[in-house]
Structure 1
């Protein structure tokens, strides 16, 4: 039954692995999802069946860096807040692991070796706590997701593959990709009169996107624009655009502080943090906040560059999301202090 599920899953529309590592890989099937970031580190997360009551959430995370002979980290958590008392017992197939932490448990190397074959063969695993509390982890989709992980990391046909092992040498496994360095610049302090720039620059803004997509398009005027100082000559303009019950988005421009203002629209959207020159976009998948996506950009002296992105696509009852599943990571590096000087 498992092999049939794997074959069917691989026919689904997952992102192409192609040049693995150059682009993030995302894939999901049944109750499991995969996120491989731009360094080729992959994370697979599984949950209770979608038919299980939301008050009984459980999730397992398998993390594996790229490269030959890398180890697999396995973590487990259950929902229930302060009512959950440990130690927990995890059972899958013929293997039982006792004494696990009630918050977020990490399996040691020996335990990982013991449970992996059983996870791949089974349909579900159970977690129990003293007092009779029990959670059921679905394994539907696990094989398909781990096969996609092997593919993304170039492991298929090697001894270290999780699903489809073979005799191809481990040296053929794709190496990790270093996270890129990103130069960041801290904005200068606000100046007297910056607030007045909104009215002056507003006529120069292209508001066609706002008029088409913003839910406050009947209030598009200079009073809706916030101005933040970036450099001695540049400012950031922010217009709240998508303002719902629990999500927020904005349109952003960089403009000169003197004519010609020449505003340039940005890909970045979200809330601006003047302290570190960041723009953060966070979106809840639904109101209870059990699944999120986020993206962060930083000012580099001339524009905003993406520095991180993450999301968990399955809303399975964990407030704030069960895990952080990065899709893009970087290494921000502060620029020289002289680049952020507030002197004219």
Structure 2
């Protein structure tokens, strides 16, 4: 069985991420922050097959095109268009192994569509070789780069996903996003007072919301200022009467804290959903949301446990549903 942990590595112009479930992704990007990218995704296990997707932003003045594909040196690899609009996504539906071989050995790669966009191949082979190593494919017939005679059956199977027990739903009468009065025990905390002042200055108002987690625990969120596309919250737990206030411990794959430069109970664009018992955050790298970090935690009855985390460090137009998932659970 494959034993893995989430990890990301940089290989010159390419990056590679492997999740805790053994799935791996390799990304190549257009130079100088241009909008163009190529993604290779490979689940774990002996029967997995690599998938190739790519995207770009066509010139708004260019005529629409349904003919998309990748060109590596003098070889063309046709693709089908997943969606049109501002950020089309192309997928290679045929056997992707010849394409991956061409990427590993090629000198140049270009996305072809309504317009063209070059994507560097510098580091592609090293990123794919690292994935082979992480998934136990080296020397097997399923390897992306270093293939051999070992049978596919020798590739480790995917590890079991961690299980997060989710507490049952509970009535939310009297709680919500409006008309909430923050307990005096929280209002007396210096950082909360600073947040409330910042919220008033930003025009958010009090920016206080609450939710009942169980008969003994209430969740509080305090808005702490906003920018053009990011809203900050501090999160706390108290007893039903506001006693015993304590910050919520939000732990991500990099350790405590949803944001490494902010307090551990901080989220960007955070929200709690009492129906699913989950607290989510979306720290956007820029307004269109094509880069940043997405995290979700579930209330287990005594803590918020991380259930999913994905991130994208390059602002290149990658839709967030195609970002590498560093962590997921059952």
Partner SS, residue 103 of structure 2: helix
Q: Report Cα offsets for 1:126-184 as digits up to 9, x if no partner.
A: 23336xx2222221221121122112112223332222334455444332113233222
Give 1:61's aligned residue: 39
**Equivalent residue runs for 1:9-158 within 5 Å:** 21-50=3-32, 54=34, 57-80=35-58, 84-98=64-78, 100-101=80-81, 103-110=88-95, 112-129=96-113, 133-158=115-140
Distance in 2 of aligned mates of 1:198 and 1:181? 34
Q: Aligned pair in 2 of structure 1 residues 99, 180: CA closer, same or farther (>3 Å)?
A: closer
> TM-score normalized by structure 1?
0.74
Distance in 1 of aligned mates of 2:174 and 2:112? 62
Q: Report Cα offsets for 1:89-130 as digits up to 9, x if no partner.
A: 4321353233632633322343x1321211111132123336
Unaligned stretches of 5+ residues in structure 1: 1-18, 332-344
Partner SS, residue 102 of structure 2: helix
Count how many residue pairs are aligned between Structure 1 and Structure 2. Answer: 299
Could you say which structure has the larger radius of gyration?
1
Contact 2:79 2:93 in 1 (8 A): no
Give 2:220's aligned residue: 237
More displaced, 80-89 or 61-70? Answer: 80-89
Q: Aligned pair in 2 of structure 1 residues 250, 150: CA closer, same or farther (>3 Å)?
A: same
**Equivalent residue runs for 1:1-344 within 5 Å:** 21-50=3-32, 54=34, 57-80=35-58, 84-98=64-78, 100-101=80-81, 103-110=88-95, 112-129=96-113, 133-185=115-167, 187-192=169-174, 198-202=182-186, 207=189, 210=191, 216=195, 225-241=208-224, 243-258=226-241, 261-268=243-250, 269=267, 270-316=270-316, 318=317, 320=319, 323-331=322-330
Contact 1:40 1:65 in 2 (8 A): yes
Distance in 2 of aligned mates of 1:153 and 1:216? 46
Q: Aligned pair in 2 of structure 1 residues 192, 309: CA closer, same or farther (>3 Å)?
A: closer
Unaligned stretches of 5+ residues in structure 2: 201-205, 251-266
Q: Report Cα offsets for 1:40-83 as digits up to 9, x if no partner.
A: 011112222236xx3xx322221111112421111222322875
